[in-house]
Structure 1
Amino acid sequence: MSEHVDVVQGASPNEVRDPVVKHEIKKATVWLGLACAIALFVLLIQPLLIIFAGLVFAAMLDGGVRLLGRVLKIGRGWRLLIVVISVLAFLIGTFYLTGVQVVQQVTELQSTLTMQFNRLTGWLSQMGVMPGRSDLNSILQQAMGSVGKLTSWVGTAAGALTSLFMIMVIGLFLAMDPRVYERGVQWMVPMDNRQQFAITLRRMGETMRRLLAGRLIGMAAEGVLTWIALAIGGVPMALLLGIITGVLAFIPNIGAFVSGVLMVAVGFSAGYETGIWAIVTYFVVQTFDGYVLIPMVAKRTVDLPPALTLGAQILASALFGVMGLALADPMTAMIKVALERSSERTEEDDEAGAEAEAAAAGL
C-alpha cells in the first residue's frame, strides 16, 4: 500500500528544459573540464616526467629481455633478472676498475674548466665583446632565476637521487609484467576504440625499444672512440671525457655540442697542439657518428628529422628543465607514432566509406 503525499507541481528552478541552453551548458562543461585538465597537468608535471622516465627505463629493460629471449628459452622473470644483474655487474666492474681515476679526473676537470672559463671571459672582456664579471654574474643569476619553481627540484642532489631511484623502481615493476599495465590502460578506453588503441600502444612500444637501442649503440660507440682518440693524442682526462661524451650522446645535437666544448677546453689547457688534437677528435668522431653509425642504426630504429628533434629539445628544456631535455626525444617519437596512426585511421575510414558508396551505387 503506497503512502499518500503531496507533490509540488511545476518545474524546478535548477531544471533546464531549453535544448539550446542544455547544449551550451554541455559545451561550457567540456571547456571547463579541459582547462582543469591542463591546470592539473601543469601541477603534476614533475611526477608525470618521473613516470615517463620509468617507462623509458622499462623499455630499455624490455628490449634486453626480448633480445635475450632469442637465445635463452626461459621465463621472462629469469631473463629480466639476468639483464639487471648484467647491468649492475658492468657498472660495478667499470667503477671498480676506473673509479679512482675517474674521481681524480672529475676534480681536475672542475678546476680546468673554471680556469679556462676565466681565461675566455677575461679575453672577451678585454676585447669588449662580453660585459664585466659583475654584470655577467647578474645576468647568470637572472637566467637561473627565470627557470622558476618548475625545475628547481632537479637542482638538489637529494632530489636527483630520489627521482633516479623512483624511475628505476617504476621501470623494474613495469618490465616484470608489462601486459598487466597494458590491459589496465586499455580498460580505461571505450570498447569500440580498444583495438585501435592496442595497435597504437604496440607500435609505441616497438618504436621506443628501437629508439633506445639505437641510442645505446651510439652512446657506446662515441664514448669508446672519444676515449681512445683522446688518449692517443695525450689529452688529459681522456677516460672521463669519453664517459661524459657517451652519456651526453643520449641527447642528440645538444649533447654533442656540450661534450665538444668540454673536450676542446681540456685539450687547450694542456697546450696548443693538444687542443687542436681535441678539435680534430671531436669532428672525426661526430663525422663517423653522423655519416656512418647513425645512418646504419636509423634503418632499424626511428627516423626523426634533426630539426624536429632539436626544436623538441629546446621546448622541453624550457618547459620541464633538465629531465625534459633528456626525455624530449622519446616524447617526440611517441607523439610521432600517435599522429601517424591517427592519419592511418583517417585513411582507412575514408577508404571504407568510398567502398560503401561504391557498393551502394552498384546496387
Structure 2
Amino acid sequence: MVQAKPRPARKPKAAPPPAVLHAGPSDIADPLLRTEFKRAAVWIGLAAALALMVYLAQPLLVIFGGMVFAAMIDGGARLIGRVLPIGRLWRVGIVLLLTAAFLMWTAMFAGSQIAAQAAQLPATVQAQAIKVLAWLHAHGAVVDFSSAQGLIEKAAGSIGQLTSALGNVIGGVTTAFGIVVLGIYFALEPQLYRRGFAWLLPLGEREHFEGTATIMGHTMRRLMAGRLLGMFLEGVSTWLLLAWWGVPMAALLGLLTGLLAFLPNIGAPISGALMVLVGFSVGTSTGLFCIVVYLAVQIIDGNVVVPLVAKHTADLAPAVVLGMQLIMGTLFGLIGLMLADPMVAMIKVALERQSLRNETG
C-alpha cells in the first residue's frame, strides 16, 4: 500500500506593509500649536456656555426658584417629623395641604377686604405725598411741584402694581406655577435629582459635590425658615397693632409688611413708608403711632429674629445682599429680587467649600 507523501507546510504570507497615513487638512502636527488650540477651544466653549446661560437665564431662575420652594417644603416636613413619626411623603403632603389651606383662606375670607383696601392705597399715598411736598415748600424748601407730582403719580402707580401683583401671586402666575411644580418634584425625591446631577460629574468630583450640596441644602432650609418666621412675625404683629389702633387698611398693610419682609434691606423701608403715609392720612397721632409700630417691629426683628437665624445660616453682609438685589432686580424684575438673597447664600457656601478644598488639597 502506497503511503501519501505529506504536503509541505505552506509558508505564511508576509504581512502587507502598513499604509502610510498622511496628515489631513485639519490635523495639527506642531505640539505647541496643538496645545494652544486646545486652550482656545476651552475658552470658546466657556464663552458659548456663558452665552447659553444668559439666553436661558429666565428658565434657570425658575428652576432655582423651585429649589428654594423645595427647601421650604423640606424644612416644614423635617419640622413635622420631629413631632409625627410618619413617612416623608406624608409629611410633605401635610405641608402642601397647610399651604394650600392658607392661600384659600386668604383668598376667601380676606381677599375681598384686601382687594378693596388695595384699590384705596395708591390714592391715599399720592395725597399724603403731595401734603408732604406742600409742607416742605411752606418751610422754605425749593420744590418743583410739576416734576414732583409726576414722580409721585409714577410711584403711586407702582404701588398699585405691587398690590395687584399680590393678587396675581395668590391666583397663580405662570412663573409662580412653574416654581411651585418644580419645588414639589424636588421636595418629593431630592436624592434622585442629586444623584442624577452627580452622575454627570467626573468620579473625582462627586464626593466634593455631595458634601457641598448637603451644606447648601442645610443652609437653604435654615435661611428660608428664618425668613418665613420673620415674615410671619412682622406681618401679624403689624396687622394686630394697626387694627387695634383703628388704622385704615390694617390687613393690607400687615400683609404687605409680611411679604416685603422676604426682601431684606429693601422691603422694610417700603412697607414702613406706606404704613406711615396711611397713618398720617388719618391724623398726626395715628401717623406717630404707625412710626412707633414700624420701629418696634423692626427693632425686635433686627435684634432677636435676625441674629437668631444668622447663627444657623450663612451670615451675609448687608451690602453684598443689597448689591445682588439691585443687579437681579434690574435683570429679572421681582423674581430676581426675591431670589437674590438665597443665591448669594449658595454662592458663598460654594466658594467656602472650594477654598477649604484648596487649603486641604
Match of 1:151?
Answer: none
1:215 to 227, 251, 258: 227
Give the gaps of 5 or more residues in structure 1: 145-153, 350-363
Is 1:128 the equivalent of 2:142? yes
Query: Residues 226-305 of structure 1: matches in 2 within 5 Å?
Result: 226-305=238-317
How many residue pairs match? The answer is 334
Match of 2:162?
Answer: none
Deviations 1:44-103 (A, max 9, x none): 111111111111001100111111122222222111111111121222234433233222
Relative to 1, partners in 2 of residues 1:16 and 1:222: Cα closer, same or farther, differing over 3 Å?
same
Distance 2:322 2:180 in 1: 27
Letter in 2 for 1:316: M
Deviations 1:214-241 (A, max 9, x none): 0011111111111122223322111110
Relative to 1, partners in 2 of residues 1:270 and 1:140: Cα closer, same or farther, differing over 3 Å?
closer
Distance 2:260 2:181 in 1: 23
Match of 1:53?
Answer: 65
Q: Would the aligned equivalents of 2:69 and 2:180 in 1 still touch at CA under 8 Å?
A: yes
Relative to 1, partners in 2 of residues 1:248 and 1:135: Cα closer, same or farther, differing over 3 Å?
closer
Deviations 1:267-318 (A, max 9, x none): 1111122111111111111111111222223223332222222222122222
Query: Residues 13-28 of structure 1: matches in 2 within 5 Å?
Result: 13-28=25-40
Percent of aligned pairs with the same amino acid: 50
Distance 2:146 2:22 in 1: 79
1:336 offset after TM fit, Å? Answer: 0.8
Query: Residues 76-115 of structure 1: matches in 2 within 5 Å?
Result: 76-115=88-127
Relative to 1, partners in 2 of residues 1:300 and 1:57: Cα closer, same or farther, differing over 3 Å?
same
Letter in 2 for 1:103: A
Distance 2:210 2:242 in 1: 48
Match of 1:315?
Answer: 327
Match of 2:5?
Answer: none
1:174 to 174, 181, 186: 186
Relative to 1, partners in 2 of residues 1:8 and 1:67: Cα closer, same or farther, differing over 3 Å?
same
Q: Would the aligned equivalents of 2:62 and 2:179 in 1 still touch at CA under 8 Å?
A: yes
Three-state SS of the structure 1 residue aligned to 2:110 is: helix
1:23 offset after TM fit, Å? Answer: 1.1
Match of 2:6?
Answer: none
1:347 offset after TM fit, Å? Answer: 2.0
Distance 1:267 1:104 in 2: 17
Letter in 1 for 2:111: G
Distance 2:145 2:30 in 1: 67
1:251 offset after TM fit, Å? Answer: 0.8
Distance 1:99 1:315 in 2: 33
Match of 1:337?
Answer: 349
Q: Would the aligned equivalents of 1:69 and 1:79 in 2 still touch at CA under 8 Å?
A: yes
RMSD: 2.9
Letter in 1 for 2:146: G
Relative to 1, partners in 2 of residues 1:300 and 1:11: Cα closer, same or farther, differing over 3 Å?
closer
Match of 1:361?
Answer: none
1:131 offset after TM fit, Å? Answer: 6.7
Three-state SS of the structure 2 residue aligned to 1:132 is: helix
Report the structure number with the largest CA radius of gyration. 2
Distance 2:196 2:71 in 1: 18
Q: TM-score normalized by structure 2?
A: 0.84
Is 1:327 the equivalent of 2:330? no
Letter in 1 for 2:216: M
Distance 2:192 2:287 in 1: 54
